[in-house]
Structure 1
Amino acid sequence: MDSFHPRLPQQKLPLATFDSLRVWVEQTARNDDEEAIVLTERAVRVHSLPHVGQFTLGVSPQFCAIVWANPQDETPLTVGFSLERDQLQTFLEDCPLKTPQRNRALKRLQGYQQQPDYHSQVTLNLAQFISDRSPSRPAMPSPHTAKPATTRQPVEDALQHHRQQEQLLNQVTTQTCQSVALAVLISNTVARVRRFLELDRLCIYQFDNYNQDDHTGTPPGRRRDCMTYEALRHEGLTSVLSRQQSQHWQFLNQFRDRYERGDTLMFGSEDYDSQLPENSQTYLQELGIQSHLSVPIRIQGHLWGILLAHQCDRPRVWQPREQEFLEHIADHLSVAIYQAQLYAEVQQQKETLEQRVEQRTQDLRDALVTAQVANQTRSDFLATVSHELRTPLTCIIGMSSTLLRWSFGNLTPKQRDYIQSIYNSGEHLLELINDLLDLSQNESGKTVLSFSEFSLTQLAQEMFCMMVDRATVNGVHLALDLQLREHQDRLCADRDRLRQILFNLLSNAIKFTATGGQALLRIYWQDDRTVVFEVADTGIGIPEEQRSLLFQMFRQLESTYTRQYGGTGLGLALTKQLVELHGGLIKVDSEVGVGSKFTVRLPCHRSTGGEVQPTPPPPIPLPPRKGHVVLVADQEDEAVLICDLLTAAGYHTVWMLDGSTALEQIKMLKPVAVMIDRQLPGMDGCELIRLLRQLPNTESLKILLMSDPLDSEELAACQEQGADICLIHPIEPEQLLNSIMTLFASQPAI
């Protein structure tokens, strides 16, 4: 229950009348019986009960009454009043107040009996009470009677004055809790207090040496050690905010010790000669200040400033309640200022931390860029060195092979062994260089896949024949398990790269399997779109804690393996990259002393038809992080530029030359975006877009059309076919990247 509205006769009455009725109810009840029961809303507040308004209820043997009002109303208040026992009893029963005093009041009301002339007596009693509280009024003012200096205010006015003071203080507290800007809070408070006390001027003098930060409440553009806030009764009064007048207020420093102690100082124009220097006396007289009251504003025991009250139209005797009220205002302002300073310190610390985080992030970015540059430099170096080494190695291998097959002249056994060693070493070194070259091409995004359709059975048998002799030399039994049906034999992939993958896996299986062990190549289809290659062995196995090193470049599991089995640690790293280049996955299952099984899954298409001519080899960079972007264009210079830009931006870029064969390859790759040149050999780019949009599950595919300048009708036609964005030749790098980013940040295609 948020509020409580009793069922009482109600009337709009002034606040003063309501307060008088409350006093009358309490006095009448207690005058009738010293043990009378008087309940007010304070009992509800003590017990943290819901809001019930303000009320006074009195019950005695000869009297019962209640007066109630809703304080949320603006004056005049809606006041409820009753002298009827039943209505008082209903109020107590409905009220959420559950205390022993309430129960005693209900019990007393149950035995209460009203006298026949009860209402008449109570009405006369109330009339007498109101008459006693009304101020006396003389019949005619006498010209010989001097007007008294002060007039005694009624109790109601004093109560109202006190409430207004509390309201002003509550406003300062509320604005402080709401984190209102400090300058706004101080300005509003100064203006309200000046109006309430009917001052000619209320201002604040702020000291410069309190704090050196910029969060002490000084308005923007004003220096400290001067007047910083001011409220005037009317525009005819002189403002004290100008900087030229600040020097006249330096006399306040001579009372600084007293202000530091918290003393409030008051003096009038008659005190100027005894307390102020001559220049300050003249200045205050020019301002017409006849009464001056100054209250220190201290924060955590340190003097921040002074609250100054001025009366200029007449001498004013400062009342103790006025002094006390201004001291309360100064205390509330000090709390607000201190809270603002704490908040500013927290904000400053937050900004400092954010700057540190930003700087640290930038340092990490710089370090990452440096590492990437170093890595790219290494890759470029490997590619250059590999190319330079291949030529002399080819000569060495070729000449040694020729010497071994020389048709004239006889070689001694030692000579033949030497030449065979040269040939074998050259072949091994060339294999390592090829691995290095492939890795450098992968890392630079220049690896090329040549997709074609071939027979899985033929590839498997070729690999088996190639590796069986090596396995026999090592004493390892090599087996082939083809779980392929007749219509599952055809595969569309890069045959040479797949052959390289199987070669690396089978080589490792044979190398790390002891004499008498077994190695197995198994091929099968997991579903209609995934072909699985398994290479299993009964070798030494791989410890679980070392499996994370398997696919890292230049990493061997243990140095003993290097000495015993040889190798550089490039084979599996390259294998993983080639598998991922096809959009596939590779995993390993192993147990030490039992063996290992490497499983490769490739998402591919197979055909049920006859032989198909290989498509032109599209350059396919190593997939980065953000998905494939397919480029269909035949202009090499522009295509290379676009591929380099997208690769640097983190996209897997696939370049296709022929639009007629691009549709099937796009279906296989499932890219996130396709860039199509409108002028394709033998096909219009818009027609390719139309065919793409007819494929299932292409609603989210983003399509960019590259074209020569188009008029509005041509552009509308291209968009109707399904193009999301049209880029005009020549393609600007900034425009291209912005278009890509815009597409991925937008909703599905138009």
Structure 2
Amino acid sequence: MFAKLVHLWLELVANNYCDGVYLSEDNLINLEKENSSQEKKSFHSFHLFIAENIQALLLVEKKINELYYQVTITFDSQEILDFLELINSKIDLSKDNLDTIYSVLSNPINKDNPEQSFIFAIMKILTEPLAFQDNYLNDYSQHQTIEVILRNRIEQERILHQVTQQIQQDLDLLVIVKMTIEQVQSLLQIDRLLIYQLRVPIKQESSENIEYIDTVTYEAKASSVIPSLLNFQEESCFNNIRDSEKKYLEGFYLAIEDINHSNLDSCLKELMQKLGVKAKIAIPIIVKNKLWGLLIAHQCFTVRKWKSNEITFLKNITEYLAVAIYQYNSYHKLEKQKQLLEQQVAKKAKELQDALIVAQVANQSKTEFLGSISHELRTPLTCIIGLSGTLLHWSKDLKNNLSLEQQIRYLKIIQDSGRKLLELINNILDFADIEAGKSLLYMEEISLENLSKMIYLSALEIGKNQGIKVNLEYNISKDLDLFYCDGERLYQILLNLVDNAIKFTPYGGEVIIRMTRNQSQAIFQVEDTGIGINKEQIPLLFTKFQQLENYRTRTHSGTGLGLALTKHLVELHGGFIDVQSTIDKGSTFTVSLPNSPPIYQIKSKISDKEMTDLKVNKTIVVICEDDEIGTFLCQLLTAADYQVIWLVDIYEAIHRIRLINPSIVILEQNKEASLEVCQNLKSENKDKLYLMVIREKISGSEWENLSNLGVDEYLLKPLQPRILLRKIAKIINT
């Protein structure tokens, strides 16, 4: 830039050489080194041209580096005279030249109006980094004074600088855009300046769906007389924005000086006339290579010739706004990510807190269980050890033998204590088996009348020792007496409920056992007049190792497994259990069990001869590496009267199946091996073999692949005995 300024001065000298005097640092006298070191220059270089029509000084006050200089440019005669006084003692000029210089400077012809073309050339050089083009000067040189041009340019730079500062300091897009368009509208004296934003998300009130519209989102007006277009949207006429999006992205802008004499399409021209627009300009706002919206200027009362510097300025404004919009969107995206992370952290913290509480509860339950089980084991063991020791001691003393009645009583206490221990251990083992999925039901046809008598007799025996009255209300007709269930497990369910009712009923109270049924289900109720249960504690009744009394202070024995085991056994039958209770009045436990005879037992009504004639193949091959699953399948299927062969080696099984000739193959292996085996088995046996696979889970696409390979059915873990037996029976009998 400095070189261009020097070149400009030299051009001025060359064009006016005969009419003026040119001075530079070359005209200074070379002083002695010692003097130059003492007299330090206040400038580095200068170029001065003095003529009658122009006086111009270019003074380099400071050289920052090879590219940057601090310069002063002046056309003022007095400032030039002051500068000459400064260098008067060092200048090497003739007396005639000096007289001419001082004469011109003292009486300049055009002191207030230096040559404008030279000044415009200087301005072009100085404003080159801001794209200050030739047409800028052309727009104003004939109509405005240099002071007005400079003032407008300075104001434009001020606005751009203010927008930059706002972007750096404030992330509020509304503040940035509103401030910018208001100042631009005022500076350029535009009647209405607005932003037409594309794809604005609008949430519908009636639903959670989001609709995207194009609308005016920001606006600045010169006066209240001009109608507002805020939130204005017009779909039909603005479709060309979408069509022209590629052009806008490539730098296209629309500038119309007179709407009536423009080549706008009829729809848009009619709309502009309706809105009272005489001239307009539309410049795209591009954010991340996408058309975000348009900056639109309207002149409403007169036509307007849009000057190139105004267009350039508006383009700069759109670029600055694009930066603000991008920063705003990025900030909000980061905020959303931050909120999401905070929510995830809070969720994880809550999960950890819940896990800690569960662990604490589990630890407390374990402590309670150990305390309970220790207490329950110690009481009968104390009786067994103490009384057996007494019997052993007196059996050695022949002189002081115990009476026969005492011995019988002691032995009976020992036997009862042993039974309590056995019952306790059986409950623990049963519960462990049920939770591990190892417990099976032996479904058979039982007599509910016989079951009721057994329960009633047991309840009388337990209640007699506690002073509790027991009543039985049996309301089942003879034709509904037979019921399909696991008789032993049903007895265990009812005995647990009766024992629990008697345990929590005070002396002299009553326990009622009720039995009813219909075609589809049987209902068993155990009602007591005991202490009752708080509503808050009812959900804890069926929790394992959970007792409503602390084991250290409680007055009733038990491990907390009875009701939990009962609930599991009821659900294993496909039934449900419910409880209603009132404090100090008693509780009622209700068990409902479905009457679901196994299919294989219904089919067993066919005679042996008929079975032989039908030649039903009941051979099932289980191919499984998992001992637990293999054992479970063998026990279950064998109990259901099927011939089961368990093969472990999957590849050997392929060859052995030819000899075994089963009707069903149940396969539990890894996915890759399963696919190969399925393909081989089906290719060799075709439609004679029914193939089932066992999976943890199975997707739709995976099942489609297996089905294409010939797999007929799948089973999901954990295996459900009733579902498995129903599927097997259906396959065998069809």
Which bracket does the TM-score occupy, shorter chain normalised? 0.3 to 0.5
